[in-house]
Structure 1
Amino acid sequence: MERIIEEIREDLNRRIAVAADRLADRTLTEDPAYAALLGRPELRERIHLTLNQAVEGLVRGARGLPAELDDARATGALRAGQGVPLASVRRTYRSGGRLLWQSLTEAVAAHDRAELPRLLPGAVALWDVLDQMADAASEAYLRVEAERGERDRELRAALLDTLLEGGVPPAEATAAAVRLGLPERGRFAVIVLAAAGPGAAGLPAGADGADDGPRVLWRVRADGETGLAELGHHPLESLRGLLGPLAVRAGVSPVVAAPAELTGARRLAALALRTAPAAAGPGTALLDERLPAALVAADPELAARLLRVVLGPVLALPPEDGRVLLDTLGTWLACRGSTTYAAQRLYCHRNTVSNRLRRLEQLTGRALSDPAHVVELALAHAAVRQRPATPPATAAAAAAAGPTPAGTARRSPRPPG
């Protein structure tokens, strides 16, 4: 094979030059990616180099040497940087292989047709060299893509931090939003997932740009995920449908209109999450639906004081007695002050509910007929729900049946009357 190539070298070089011209023209005509991203001179030069390298690979193979693949790797890296699809790159290698074999056989036939049978074993060797070159180009391409993807992820994370962490002028926040593909004005909200939530792999599929819902850009951290939602025309409540399959606790901010407002929105989303304690299970807490509880969550020291002042005597009861009264209060609040409905949810007689509520009034010194006292009891009950941990003495009882969250209807066994 080496002897044949050396004998036809001059003619083969001319034919390879013509093949490079033909393939460059065909590629620019048939492949929109190349046509949009490259000029003919650069494409033709690179094709010509590749064809020559394939011939040299044949010669080296005949000598028992491996093919030189540095130029193929350079081509793959170059095309990745230019944004040419990998499929287009590999297709050009295949087309170049066919043209090179045609040029080789024509050159041999023109030199000595009797040599053609001796050329046939070279077909396998030629395609082996071309496969090695295409694989080397692909590996380099994918490596550049991976590095660029990592840089893009780091850049996006930094831009999201700019918007969500704050401390930058409004103009800089707007610029960061634009670089993320967000509008300068729109309808945005922030989502904060609990730290126990899933990693990036568990985030909603298509969350970065689904056509049938809000677009959400996720910032993944070890202590939880934060999402920046571009709502567009979708209502804020649509985020519940997006987050539902995750089965995690999430807090959602109110809607804001400008990127510079997202830092505050993130704080409000985190506050919304704090109104949904772990004991309540998975769910999405919209801040505007939980404003009283958010007031309690916003100042833990004051909430603890409210809890002691308003419900201290109840919390001082034996665990089961205190749980029953708190459960009854929460259910009564959820039923909008209806003793009858509360009794139905608690599976007991309405007189039992009334008796428990009277005892609660006696212990706390608050009357459920007084709206101001009801507000205090409701806020104190919210503080009970938001306690980060259950005291050891009441852990077993709380695990068996914690207080019914205000605003929910939890069916439970009939408590003692």
Structure 2
Amino acid sequence: MERIIEEIREDLSRRIAVAADRLTDRTLAEDPAYAALLGRAELRERIHHALRQAVEGLLRSSRGLPVELADARAVGALRAEQGLPLTSLLRTYRRGGRLLWQSLTEAVTAHDRAALPRLLPGATALWDVLDQMTDAVTESYRRAEAARGDRDREHRAALLDVLLDGGVGPSAAAAAAAGEVSAAEAAAARLGLPERGRFTVVVLAADASGAPVVPVVPAGTGAPAGGTGAASAPRVLWRIRADGEIGLVELGHHPLESVRELLAPLGVRAGVGPVVAAPADVARAHRLAALALRTSPESEGPRTALLDERLPAALVAAEAELAGRLRQVVLGPVLALPAQDRRTLLTTLGTWLACQGSTTDAAQRLYCHRNTVSNRLRRLEQLTGRSLSDPRQVVELALAHAAVLQRVEAEPATRPAVPDPRASRTPGGTARRSPRRRA
């Protein structure tokens, strides 16, 4: 093989140059990705070089030497960084291999047709060399693509942090330095968010296993929660952190309540902040979404807590010191009772509040007589010095009750015996069967 190539080297070089011209023109005409990336001169030079490298590889293989693949690896990494599809790159290599074999056979035929049988064993060797080159290109491309994906995800995460935390990250700071825009505006622009719109933030409760709750989406993109990909759903940019997951929601024309539908398939507790109109206000929405989540005890199970629907409880959650004082001043005598009595009165109060002050409905929920509920509520009034007929004092009791529930959630190790007020239990904590027959 080496002798044949040496005999036709000059003619083969001319034919390879012509093949490079043909492949360049065909590639630019048929592959928009290449046409958008490279000019004709540069592409032609790279193709010509690859064809010559294949011939050198064939010679080295015939001498028992390994094929030099450094250039192929460099091309694979470069094209991955440039964003050229791998299919385009490999298609050009395959076409180049066919043109190279055609050039070889034409050169041998022109030199000595009788020598063609001597060329045939070289076909296997040539395709082996081409396989090694394409394998090297592919492996290098995929490594570079994975590294670029990691960088893109880190960059996207840093930009989201700028918006969510209100800080200035290096990426956004560099963008902001280039023009008269804030770091938040620069970060939003990099993420493809509009300067003005309707945004909110979702904070998910941390999963006990540490596994992400939200399916991973491609770097730099947003997707509806649950990965449905529905075009009509709001766009969500997710940020996974050690303490939970955060979603920046671009609502568009969708109402804030649509976030509940987005999160329902996930089956988790979540807090949702208010709607804000500018990227600079996203950090505030994030802070308030985290506060909304704190108003939703774990005992309530999976649910989505919208801040605007839980403002009284959010007030309590926002001021830990005042919440503690509220608990002690308003419900101190109740909290000092033995565990069974404390549980009974607090559960009854919570149920009565949930039933909008209806003693009858509370009795049905607690599976006890209406008079029993009334007696418990009177005792609670006597202990606290508050009247359930005075709206202002009802507000105090409701806020104090919320403070107790939030303390239970925050301190499970020292949790007082305060079950879910919706649970159907007797004062002693023993479950009772509903007096109503099951359907």
TM score, norm. by length of structure 1: 0.92
Aligned in 2, Cα 1:55/1:199: closer, same or farther, shift over 3 Å? farther
Q: Distance in 2 between matches of 1:85 and 1:199?
A: 35
State whether structure 2 residue 194 is matched by structure 1 residue 180.
Answer: no
Within a 5 Å distance, the mapping from 1:315-354 to structure 2 comes to 315-354=335-374
Q: Deviations over 1:232-256 (max 9, x none)?
A: 1122122222222333222111000
- Shift of residue 199 of structure 1? 5.8
Partner residue in 1 for 2:98:
98
Aligned residue in 1 for 2:201: 190
Conserved in 2, the CA contact under 8 Å of 1:12 and 1:104? yes
RMSD across aligned positions (CA): 2.0
Distance in 2 of aligned mates of 1:199 and 1:257: 33
Q: Distance in 1 between matches of 2:212 and 2:404?
A: 34
Amino acid corresponding to residue 381 of structure 2 in structure 1: E
Query: In 1, are the aligned partners of 2:348 and 2:362 still within 8 Å (CA)?
Result: yes
1:85-112 deviations in Å (ceiling 9; x for gaps):
1110011111111111111111111122
Aligned pair partner of 2:411 in 389, 395, 413: 389
CA distance in 1 between partners of 2:93 and 2:254 (Å): 47
Residues 373-403 of structure 1: CA deviation (Å, up to 9, x unaligned): 1101110110111011146484xx45xxx14
Q: Residue 379 of structure 1 aligns to a residue in which SS? A: helix
CA distance in 2, matches of 1:136, 1:123: 20
Q: In the alignment, is residue 49 of structure 1 matched against residue 49 of structure 2?
A: yes
For 1:173-322, list aligned pairs within 5 A. 173-196=184-207, 201-204=212-215, 208-209=222-223, 210=229, 211-322=231-342
Residue in 2 that maps onto 1:116: 116
State the AA in 2 paired with 1:142: R
Alpha carbons of 1:391 and 1:359: their partners in 2 closer, same or farther (altered >3 Å)?
Answer: farther
The alpha-carbon deviation at position 37 of structure 1 amounts to 1.6
Query: Which residue does the alignment assign to 1:412?
Result: 424
Instruction: Provide, for residues 116-165 of structure 1, a one-character-per-residue CA deviation record: whole Å limited to 9, x for no partner.
Output: 22222222211111111111112222222222222222222221222122
SS in 2 for 1:146: helix
- Cα distance change, pair 230–199 in 1 and its aligned pair in 2 (3 A): farther
Q: Given that residues 348 and 415 in structure 1 are in contact (C-alpha distance below 8 angstroms), is that contact kept between their aligned partners in structure 2?
A: no
Secondary structure of 1:217's counterpart equals strand
Residue 154 in structure 1 maps to residue 181 in structure 2: no
- Match in the other structure for 2:77: 77
Deviations 1:149-200 (A, max 9, x none): 2222222222122212224697221121111110000001111222336767
1:60 aligns with 2:60: yes
> For 1:206-260, what per-residue CA distance to the aligned partner results, in whole angstroms no more than 9, with x for missing partners?
5813423111112222122222111111221222222223332221110000111
**In 1, Cα distance between equivalents of 2:333 and 2:426:** 24
For 1:368 and 1:255, the matched residues in 2 are separated by 35
105-114 vs 9-18, greater mean Cα deviation: 105-114
Structure 2 CA distance for aligned equivalents of residues 103 and 28 of structure 1:
21
* Residues 313 and 402 in structure 2, CA contact (< 8 A), matched pair in contact too: yes
Q: Which amino acid aligns with 1:208?
A: G
Structure 1 residues 139-148 or 332-341, which shifts more? 139-148
8 Å Cα contact 1:323/1:403 also seen in 2: no
Q: Partners in 2 of 1:32 and 1:390 — Cα distance? A: 61
Alpha carbons 1:197, 1:224 under 8 Å: kept:
no
What is the one-letter code of the residue matched to 2:205? A
Unpaired runs of 5+ in structure 2? 169-175, 224-228, 430-439
One-letter identity of the residue aligned with 1:24: T
Decide whether the 8 Å contact of 2:76 with 2:140 is kept in 1.
yes
Partner of 2:397: 377
Look up the match of 1:407: none
Question: Which letter maps to 2:376?
Answer: R
TM-superposed CA distance for 1:416, in Å, is 5.5
Measure, in 2, the Cα distance between the counterparts of 1:108 and 1:310: 101
Conserved? CA contact 1:197–1:248, under 8 Å: no
- In structure 2, how many angstroms separate the alpha carbons of the residues matched to 1:199 and 1:354? 45
- Quote the offset at 1:347 in angstroms: 1.3
Residues 373/353 of structure 1: CA separation in 2 closer, same or farther (3 Å cut): same
Taking a change above 3 Å as real, the CA distance of residues 81 and 200 of structure 1, as seen in their structure-2 partners, is farther
Which residue type is aligned with residue 270 of structure 1?
A
Q: Which amino acid aligns with 1:389?
A: E
Give percent identity, aligned residues only.
74
In 2: Cα distance, 1:153 partner to 1:230 partner: 19
TM-score, normalisation: structure 2: 0.88
Where 2:207 maps in the other structure, the secondary structure is coil
Larger mean CA deviation between 305-314 and 168-177 belongs to 168-177
Task: Output the CA distance in 1 between the equivalents of 2:107 and 2:413.
Answer: 90
Task: Give distance in 2, aligned partners of 1:239 and 1:98.
Answer: 55
Please say if residues 200 and 220 of structure 1, whose CA atoms lie closer than 8 Å, have aligned partners that are also in contact.
no
Instruction: Rate the CA distance shift 1:379–1:201 in 2: closer, same or farther, 3 A.
Output: closer
Secondary structure at 2:107 match in 1: helix
Helix, strand or coil for the counterpart of 1:369? coil
Aligned residue pair count: 407
Q: What SS class does the counterpart of residue 267 from structure 1 fall into?
A: helix
- The amino acid across from 1:152 in the alignment is D
How far apart in 2 are the matches of 1:107 and 1:356? 104
- Amino acid in structure 1 at the alignment position of 2:96: G
Q: d(CA) in 2 for partners of 1:331 and 1:248?
A: 23
The one-letter code matched in structure 1 to 2:54 is A
Residues 199/44 of structure 1: CA separation in 2 closer, same or farther (3 Å cut)? farther
Segments of structure 1 that go 5 or more residues without pairing to the other structure are 405-409
Structure 1's 90 and 174: CA in aligned 2 closer, same or farther, altered over 3 A?
Answer: same
Question: Following the alignment from structure 1 to structure 2, what is the Cα–Cα distance between the partners of residues 208 and 357?
Answer: 50
Letter in 2 for 1:379: L
Deviations 1:275-295 (A, max 9, x none): 112333222211001000001
